[in-house]
Structure 1
Amino acid sequence: MIFKFRRERVIFRAFFIGVLISATCMSSAAFAVIKVVTTTTDLKSFVEYVGGDKVQAISMVLPGAEAEDYAPKPQDLDRLKTANLVVRVGLDYDLWLDRILRQTGRPELVKGGAAYVDASNAIVLLEVKGGGIGGGGHAHGAGNPHYWLDPNNAAVITGNIVEALARIDVPNAKYYEKQRIDFLASLDRKTLEWQEKLEPLRGKPLLTYHNNWPYLARRFRLNFAGTVESRPGVSPSAAELSRLLTKMGSEKIHVIVKRPQEPNREVNFLVKKLGAQIAVLSTSVGDDGAKSYIQMMDNNIKNLLAAFNKNSK
């Protein structure tokens, strides 16, 4: 009996030591590089800004694809099984992630886990309705999910990411925070530049295909006066297009904003009828060939200004 008790105690101590070693490795420089899987290319860019050469980030959703309608692929599950960190947009935007995270069998990757980041945490959300997902599949009762399009929200997003990186890679915590500070300083300078350039557009009405832009509008005081879609994910009927023509004429709307992957037919119809201009803006890094968040925003501002300048000639 004594021998059996001692043997069980030795086994328990060995197990306990193994757990401690595992936990220590998780919070130390145990990896040559931290593997981060993000749901979108925007979050991938933020991870790369703050992680520098200590991270390897990959986005599940590729440029040009619709993140809200994404269907995870087998390689996504394989990547998540070996990931050190997962970063998501949250809200109703990437609900498909929950199921595949459960399939990994890794509790640290699900909500509340040490390797899980919801980038929307602590973001001041717009258009919170509490109504859930509508019939078109794109209604956002939890709030409009395109919060990264306000550059000032980058401070919160990168704060969430750095907190998680520092949690799993303690020795490099100061490095990540330094990277974040440097990135935010560069972004602040660019934001001031963008504000100055967009000042002449303040209050001028625009039409947009889908309601992607409330955060951009709030930051730069832009006036998005309506959407081409009748409902999220639903193309307008002939009667609705007629009402849009009337609205554009009466409110002097001369610019329509759309993303590269959004339908052209209805927009081209409105443009042809009224001689309006199209401004192609991107909500995700890479949609227009941009390699980073700042480059994407820079392109958006240039394209918006170009559309207004063409209209004024």
Structure 2
Amino acid sequence: MKNFQNKTELSNYISALKAKGSSIGFVPTMGALHKGHLSLVNKGLSENDLVVVSIFVNPTQFDNKDDLVKYPRTLDADIALLKTVSNHKIITYAPSVEDIYDDNIASESFFYDGLEHKMEGAFRQGHFDGVGTIVKRLFEIVKPDFAYFGEKDFQQLQIIRKLVELHHIPVTIVGCPIHRAKDGLAMSSRNARLTPEHREIAPFIYKTLEAAKAKFGTKSAKEVTEWVYMQFEKQSLLELEYFIIADITTLKPVKRKSTKKSYRAFIAVYAGDIRLIDNIALN
């Protein structure tokens, strides 16, 4: 497995591969890899000659500096896990902050037609400027043909699609289904930080989403939202930050359902000091 820490060396290596006609898939990650990441890598391998996996904890997308410090960093284990998938068709890029940002660790400002102001953007100031900055820079370095993102971060997925559209970046964005543990909890690198008590109760999040989906068939978005808030008021170990039913294209909260539109329910929950997000398609 080829491992790079320097962007120039990686770009030159990929350029040589593409000159020979190789197609390049790309899976950007912040490390602490799990089966959800591997599902993206496998999807990429099924559609490309090689897949680049970046492993970089991006400082500019953290509004909570304590969360940045505590974010798990497990590079050796990550590389070992990727080798179980393929030792020859995966390239890793694990740069330093300096390699990505030089001497200017700051976000660019982005406009995503208003998508950035909803949900995560409303609760995490500057988050999507940080996401746009790192993803755009990684696209410039890797120059992939296809890039793979999980639907667990569905808002991020839509924003990256908008980023590619507005900046005319020649890459096809592929959204991949949420990978879940057997008990329904969406796979996340943050799950490793959950206490045993919080890990045991965390599947309540997805069970509530499933129930909300069932209710959405006969009840209004307002009624479903009120019901979800009541469920979390009864749950002392989990604190609901938000639950929103939104149009999947505009991400605007739905006021009146339409059979011509597709909706998704989005949720953010604190389990102690660990913030978990999830979502589910409603129709």
Q: Using structure 1 for the length normalisation, give the TM-score.
A: 0.28
Relative contact order, higher structure (CA 8 A, sep 6+): 2
Q: Over alpha carbons, which structure has the higher Rg?
A: 1
Higher strand fraction (1 or 2): 2
